[in-house]
Amino acid sequence: MGHFSCSPNVVTFTSLIDGYCRSGQVNLGLKLWDVTRDINMLPNAYSFSIQINALCKENRHHEARRFLNELNSYNIVAHPFIYNPIIDGFCKVGNLDEANIIVEEMEMMFTILVVGHCMKGRMADAIGILNKMLTIGCAPDGITISSLTSCLLKAGMVSEAFQVKHMVVEDLNLGVGIRSVRFRPNQNYEYRVPEFSQTSNQIRTEL
């Protein structure tokens, strides 16, 4: 690339690391990762995802866990496509304790995202993040639920606020403010819109 006056960037290195990992040469990918550190090149979320996924496929879960721990150092949000392979990997080898620790860490991150979207008026995004929390077994706490339902009501989205409350309290048997759901293999947390016929005033009363 130097012959063409082109400097490699994070996309270049991420593509090369991906190529090594896909061909089963994960250790070469790790060496290239070290090169990016030596030249102070900042990785992105996809860089981490590729390396973590490759390590998990080789059952090197603790190495992948160390990469996950580095995300905050680079101000990168832990998206599901980054941490799901690690949670799945630990569960498959029977290490549910470690999987649950990761889930607890993700709970805090998701809560911050839900509240942030609410403050920006992005209700659909906030509900989507809550749904992702439930999908992987993250238990929303009282702050998450109260913030989301309050913002939905202020936005005039009464039925959505009702659905969010009952999705959490009834479908998952959670008391608001209690973080009791933990990741369990083969357990499915799918979002189901409850059937109801209450008037708006009745819904507001329940909330």
DSSP 91-115: HHTT-HHHHHHHHHHHHHHHHHHHH
Distance of CA 76 to the CA centre of its chain: 11
Q: φ and ψ at 14, to 5 degrees?
A: -65, -40
Q: Are 164 and 152 in contact (CB under 8 A)?
A: yes
Q: What is the mean pLDDT of residues 123-152?
A: 81
pLDDT in tens, 8-64: 789 999 999 999 999 999 999 999 999 998 998 999 999 999 999 999 999 999 999
As a whole number, the mean pLDDT across the chain is 77
pLDDT in tens, 58-97: 999 999 999 999 987 887 877 778 888 999 999 999 998 9
Distance (Å, rounded) from C-alpha 46 to C-alpha 14? 8
- Residue % of the chain over a pLDDT of 70: 75
Which pLDDT value is given to residue 168? Answer: 66
Q: Are 100 and 182 in contact (CB under 8 A)?
A: yes
Confidence band of 176 (pLDDT split at 50, 70, 90) = very low
**HSE-CB of 174 using CA atoms within 13 angstroms:** 25
Q: Is the pLDDT of residue 195 over 80?
A: no
Which pLDDT value is given to residue 79? Answer: 78
Which pLDDT value is given to residue 192? Answer: 34
Helix (H, G, I), strand (E, B) or coil at 77: coil
The listed range with the strongest mean pLDDT (76-80, 100-104, 192-196) is 100-104
Q: Is the pLDDT of residue 196 over 50?
A: no
- Residue of 171 and 166 predicted with greater confidence: 166
Distance (Å, rounded) from C-alpha 50 to C-alpha 39? 20
- pTM for the whole thing? 0.60
Distance (Å, rounded) from C-alpha 104 to C-alpha 138? 7
Q: Are 68 and 36 in contact (CB under 8 A)?
A: no
Which pLDDT value is given to residue 180? Answer: 41
- Residue of 143 and 192 predicted with greater confidence: 143
Which pLDDT value is given to residue 47? Answer: 94
Q: What is the mean pLDDT of residues 106-132?
A: 84
